[in-house]
């Protein structure tokens, strides 16, 4: 692939933003290969994702953000993020005892479907070390006591390790621990969780059992960014599967696991491809 820059931006909607941004790119010899935009008619906000080839771009990569901020930041009240497709994000996987999401992500990674590096897998149990060893990825274990008396100490050690490995974002692949506010603040909209229900229904523990008791006809899975409020962060991806009165809590779990893998992998892929833009507590997902 040719090297490209990817710009995600949002600002109050007004006339001429697309023209200004595309002119900036083409005037500097950038060849636009992708452009998608959306206007929220309720909040009157403009959102855009634009990607262009940088092979002959006149502005060096390290100066592009500075130019955009100077030319358009204050003028349009613009918030933006700039990425480059030749810079592979570094992803940490957090797991507990369930292996289905971990295996699925690692298989996709090995198959070349996910353009990331995975320097580490973190867990609060030894159970999945064999999986990490199969894929040749370092596996770190920090056990958290039931009374949480060592939680602050554990998270400090985890954060130190994440910094040493230059981790860009974290994926909770069925990691059954609450993430502290401090870690969330260190990785805003960069911690992706998979919840085994169609949020906002059945938050918290044992959602499949809650669904069984309620007698629902569909169950779902939701991948979202982690916020301080439990299972309430911006939603990236969701899907559902139909069930019947013949299903048991155990069969719901089995059906749900298949769904969880797919929904989480879709969300991770969209995040890696820089196709997710968060605004308030919602996401704009570009095609």
Phi-psi domain of 51 (left: phi exceeds 0; alpha: psi -120 through 50; beta: other): beta
- Say if CB 105 and CB 265 are below 8 A apart: yes
Kindly write down the DSSP assignment for every residue of 124-145, as one continuous string: SSSTTHHHHHHHT--EEE----
Question: Which residues are bridge partners to 46 per DSSP?
Answer: 11, 39
- Say if CB 272 and CB 115 are below 8 A apart: yes
Which uninterrupted H or E stretch holds 183?
helix 181-186
Q: Which of 40, 117, 231, 239 is catalytic?
A: 231
Interstrand relation of 31-40 and 79-84 (parallel, antiparallel or unpaired): unpaired
Nearby residues of 136 by Cβ (< 8 Å), 6 or more positions away = none
d(CA 207, CA 39): 35
Active-site residue flag, 231: yes
Full strand arrangement of the beta sheet holding 90-95 = 139-141, 117-123, 90-95, 169-172, 191-195, 218-225, 235-242
Question: Which residues are bridge partners to 48 per DSSP?
Answer: 9, 37
Residues designated catalytic: 231
């Amino acid at each position: 692939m040719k090297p490209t820059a990817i710009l995600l931006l949002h600002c109050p909607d007004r006339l001429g933003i697309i023209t200004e941004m595309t002119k900036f790119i083409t005037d500097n010899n950038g060849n636009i290969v992708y452009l998608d935009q959306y206007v929220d008619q309720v909040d009157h906000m403009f959102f855009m994702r634009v990607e262009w080839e940088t092979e002959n771009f006149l502005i060096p990569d390290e100066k592009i953000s500075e130019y955009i901020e100077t030319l358009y930041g204050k003028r349009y009240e613009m918030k933006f993020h700039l990425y480059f497709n030749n810079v592979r994000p570094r992803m940490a996987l957090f797991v507990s005892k369930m292996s289905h999401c971990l295996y699925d992500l690692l298989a996709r990674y090995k198959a070349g479907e996910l353009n990331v590096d995975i320097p580490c897998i973190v867990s609060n149990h030894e159970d999945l070390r064999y999986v990490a060893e199969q894929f040749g990825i370092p596996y770190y274990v920090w056990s958290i006591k039931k009374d949480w008396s060592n939680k602050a100490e554990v998270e400090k050690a985890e954060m130190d390790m994440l910094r040493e490995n230059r981790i860009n974002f974290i994926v909770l692949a069925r990691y059954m621990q609450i993430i502290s506010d401090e870690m969330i603040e260190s990785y805003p909209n960069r911690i992706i969780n998979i919840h085994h229900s169609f949020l906002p229904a059945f938050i918290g523990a044992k959602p499949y059992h809650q669904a069984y008791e309620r007698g629902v006809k569909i169950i779902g899975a939701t991948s979202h960014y982690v916020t301080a409020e439990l299972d309430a962060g911006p939603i990236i991806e969701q899907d559902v599967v139909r069930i019947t009165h013949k299903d048991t809590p155990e069969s719901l779990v089995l059906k749900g696991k298949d769904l969880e893998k797919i929904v989480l992998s879709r969300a991770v892929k969209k995040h890696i491809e820089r196709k997710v833009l968060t605004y308030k507590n919602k996401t704009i997902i570009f095609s």
